[in-house]
Amino acid sequence: MISLAAPWVLALLPLPLLIHRLVPPYRTRTSALRLPFFRRLSDAAGSAPRPGAAVIARSRVQMATAIAVWCLLILALAQPQRLGEPVEITKAGRDVVLGIDISGSMDTVDFPGPDGKPQQRLAAVRDVVAGFVEGREGDRMALIVFGSRAFVQTPLTADLETVLALLEQTQVGMAGPHTALGDAIGLAIRTFEASEIDQRLLILLSDGNDTASRMSPLNAAEIAADRGVEIYAVGVGDRAASGENRLDMNLLKDLARRTGGAGFFAGDSEALSRVYDRIDALAPRDIETLSHRPRVSLSHWPLLLAALLGLGVLAWLHLGATRRRAPS
């Protein structure tokens, strides 16, 4: 489809005609020969004297070319362009940070898998989280892993395949044997500093209590709430364990509550999948659909045609004048 970006320019098409009709012709004075018997000469010729004027005659080819060149110039100024097929881009209006606990306790093989058989906690979590990430098309996601320290595996990105690849390579103990919940939240807050999107979710998954943070988890949660970050905390593991392996669900729920989020316990893979479905229901994403049509300018074509017409007629006139001057 071809359209004009500035169709109002076409109103200039009749401008030369208006100038020709409304503006008086330009007159110049030229040298002349005075005849004392001019009156007698005109009477003898049978013509009445009139004010002197010379009008340069133009051929039909010149007039047609001038009109065509003017029309082409106006068409070029109107900016013709070819419109491509509409292109729609779906963009989700939220950023999600996944905080995955990879402390030593995540190596415990006691998490019931889909077939009921015990699995390593981290392996079962990876499988469920991978399915969650695959369904986040349009979202930007980041991956943070934490043990004794917290590390950013991937910053906020729409390249979910990279997030999945790095999640699959994550192993227990890579970040140390202990659990630093507060540091993981603080690192997530810093990760969100690069985001200009209002809806910010931190999904925090852990199987233990905080034993290694330099920043208090509750203080980190307060800062997260002030920065507009919602925390959804997911607990896995053994509630009856003691010491560093004890799952502190009260702390996880308190962290989430302070930011307007929610806390959940997942006792097996099926329950963990339901938790992520519920997170989707509690925090639906805003989707923005952007549509545009590619535009290709065609203004150079009428300009090129006008130049060729003008040069062609000039060459034709020059050749005609040369032939007339040539001796016969």
Residues 253-282 pLDDT 10s: 999 999 998 888 888 788 888 888 888 777
Task: Give the mean pLDDT of the chain.
Answer: 83
Residue 291 or 252, more confident: 252
pLDDT above 60: residue 328:
no
pLDDT above 80: residue 215:
yes
Residue 157 or 241, more confident: 157
Residue 138 Rama label (left phi>0; alpha psi -120 to 50; beta) = left
The tokens 């500093």 sit on which residue?
Answer: 193
Share of the chain above pLDDT 90, in %: 23
d(CA 137, CA 87): 17
Give the model's pLDDT for residue 326: 65
pLDDT above 60: residue 53:
no
Query: pLDDT-based confidence at 151, cuts 50/70/90?
Result: very high
Note the pLDDT tens digit of each residue in 289-327: 667 778 888 888 999 999 999 898 888 888 877 777 766
Asked which of 4-18, 39-53, 197-211, 247-261 is least confident by mean pLDDT, the reply is 39-53
- Full set of structural domains in the chain with CATH: 2-28+56-85+294-325 (no CATH), 89-289 (3.40.50.410)
Measured CA to CA in angstroms, residue 161 lies from 141, 211, 247 at distances of: 11, 32, 31
pLDDT above 90: residue 144:
yes
Give the model's pLDDT for residue 307: 92
Query: pLDDT-based confidence at 92, cuts 50/70/90?
Result: low
Give the model's pLDDT for residue 131: 85
